[in-house]
Amino acid sequence: MNPIDPVILFFLFGLAAGLLRSELKLPSALYESLSIFLLLTIGLKGGQGLATQPLAPLIPQIGAVIVLGVAQTLIAFAVLHGPGRFGRADAAATAAHYGSVSVATFAVVVAWLGARNIAFEPQMAILLVIMEIPAILVGIVLARGVSRQTDWRALGHEAFLGKGVTLLLGGMAIGWAAGPDGLAPVKGLFFDLFKGVLALFLLEMGLIVSRQVGELKRRGIVLIAFGLGMPLLSALLGLGTGMLLGLSVGGLSVLATLAASASYIAVPAAIRIAVPEANPAISLAGSLGVTFPFNILAGIPLYHWLAGQLAGAAP
């Protein structure tokens, strides 16, 4: 039996400390710095990999993950607005969270695969960025429709030039331009310290998740069932998409994890501008309080096992 990854233990420690109402708290400036570091490092790693391969084969993959994100958002909205009986604005906002992706979950699956020496395609960092955006736009259309009141300029700026997307794209551009040799002088800072920084980040995430318990109690079984069921369905859609694209077992694991994850950084910022009447506590309670812990504790090993089964059954 494999021991629990230390970064997961840091998350559990933060969660336990928060639930016990400990005074433990990371400075907000440190949390911001950790986020910037992780986003830049993920971008650098992806760009470094892209420097060693042609870009043309990425076009069908980009198209496929856009369709995947749109489909996930529509499915999530149908479930929440129908059987879930969420109001239109809350259903659309929450669906946008689940159609998009979590950078922190991506960082965890990268560390999980790296600890087991399981390789995956370097372009997954680009697909991560691409999958951030379609769900935001679809969610807003579902909530409001297309009208003259929609501030598309502000929305587009937040979706395409928000801090997270900018850091990821900038990191990838630097990694691609510099290549593996050019990045060697900064490898010690960005690559070697990645897992330690991720551990501190997840400690703070555990504290944040502990603060979502109240909303989970108010929303009860519906939000919990959705927060567990939607990632499983999305992971299957991600695995199917990955099989069509011919990804490796590692790539299948990453794409399934991305599909199963839910955003809590880029989407809340964009939705706050476009759908202010939506209650952000509902979306964050589901994405952070249920889906994020499920994915990093049980989902990633499950998705990797499924990827192995599918790859082994493929002709």
Please give the structure tokens belonging to residue 295: 């994915």
Query: So what's the pLDDT on residue 1?
Result: 45
Please state, as a whole number, how many other Cβ atoms lie within 10 Å of the Cβ of residue 246. Answer: 12
| Section 67-87 average pLDDT | 95
Place of tokens 């043309």: 56
55 band by pLDDT with thresholds 50, 70 and 90: confident
Given a cut of 50, is residue 151 above it in pLDDT? Answer: yes
Q: By C-alpha distance, which of 93, 120, 92 is closest to 106?
A: 120
Low-confidence winner among 146-150, 237-241, 273-277 (lowest mean pLDDT): 146-150
Tokens, residue 187: 């490898």
Q: Averaged over 55-61, what is the pLDDT?
A: 86
First to last CA, the chain: 31
C-beta separation of 109 from 257 below 8 A:
yes
Q: Is the pLDDT of residue 270 over 80?
A: no
pTM, whole model, 2 decimals? 0.83
> Alpha-carbon distance 257 to 298, whole Å?
11
The CA distance from 227 to 146, in Å, is 28
Closest CA to 90 of 207, 257, 186, 218: 218
Identify the top-confidence range among 71-80, 83-92, 143-152. 71-80
Which pLDDT score, from 0 to 100, does residue 166 have? 82
Question: Interior CA angle at 139 toward 210 and 258, to 5°?
Answer: 60
| Greatest Cα pair distance in the chain | 58
Average pLDDT over residues 192-212: 89
Q: Spell out the alpha helix ranges (H) of 162-212.
A: 163-183, 187-190, 194-210
Q: Tens digits of per-residue pLDDT, 154-180?
A: 767 766 777 777 888 888 899 999 998
Q: Which residue has the tokens 């198209």?
A: 63
